[in-house]
Amino acid sequence: MLTLRKSEERGHASHGWLNSYHTFSFANYYDPEHMGFRTLRVINEDRVNPSRGFGSHSHRDMEIISYVLEGALEHKDSMGNSSIIRPGEVQIMSAGAGVTHSEYNHSDSDLVHFLQIWILPNQIGLKPSYEQKMFADAEKQGQLRLIVSPDGRDASVTIHQDVNIYATILDAEQQLDYQIKPERYAWVQVARGSVMVNDRLLKQGDGAAVSDANSLTLLGQERSEVLLFDLA
């Protein structure tokens, strides 16, 4: 079964410097019908104005992933990390027992556009950690590139949860098939472009929950970038 979460139905917050769309309940947007899917708790699509951002704030017991689509995101945290995240790079911060961080648009002239993803950890009170890696477009073109996994295999970043996240870039008419193992679930998020997921059309910002299925077919309708979550 495939259940669509259409882009235009998401929660929306506009703060002048921040334009944010919430796939699931977040902050002042509360929707009891959309509280997450399995251990996937948050997918926010954020656009932040030049030289603006999120000041220092705290998190705990959450796996937080940033996936930049355009621009450059500046990150600093209480673990001593200071970095710039650009398109193609994946950052994961395991908040664990508690961490403080800030996120700013590194540019004084261009927007930064990114997805922030939160996944519930498999343990609470873990030691906070941080990891960031680059995945070139060539690694994702026409194939599923593993970018996040519980064991860090294939040079992916490591998450404290039984979740595998893949990224792909598809041109028009490019097709990928993915087998879903028994008692596993999937979430598909279209970061840009449009794709057919089985027999359903998903456009930029759309997501889909997949349950009780043993396979997925992704067919590009135009040049598109897609994230596929394989969830317990």
* Structure confidence by residue, pLDDT tens digits, 95-117: 999 999 999 999 999 999 999 99
Q: Provide the whole-model pTM.
A: 0.96
- pLDDT (tens digit per residue) in 136-164: 999 999 999 999 999 999 999 999 999 99
- pLDDT (tens digit per residue) in 9-51: 999 999 999 999 999 999 999 999 999 999 999 999 999 999 9
The neighbour count for residue 17, using CB atoms within 10 Å, is 14
CA torsion sign for 156, 46, 231, 142 is: negative
Q: pLDDT-based confidence at 180, cuts 50/70/90?
A: very high
Predicted local distance difference test score (pLDDT) of residue 13: 96
Q: Which of 25, 97, 110 is nearest to 62 (CA)?
A: 97
- pLDDT (tens digit per residue) in 197-228: 999 999 999 999 999 999 999 999 999 999 99
Predicted local distance difference test score (pLDDT) of residue 153: 98
d(CA 104, CA 177): 37
Which percentage of the chain shows pLDDT scores above 90? Answer: 99
- pLDDT mean over 83-101: 97
Predicted local distance difference test score (pLDDT) of residue 224: 98
Q: Which of 141, 126, 15, 139 is nearest to 79 (CA)?
A: 126
Q: Which of 155, 110, 160, 164 is nearest to 135 (CA)?
A: 155
Mean pLDDT of the chain: 97
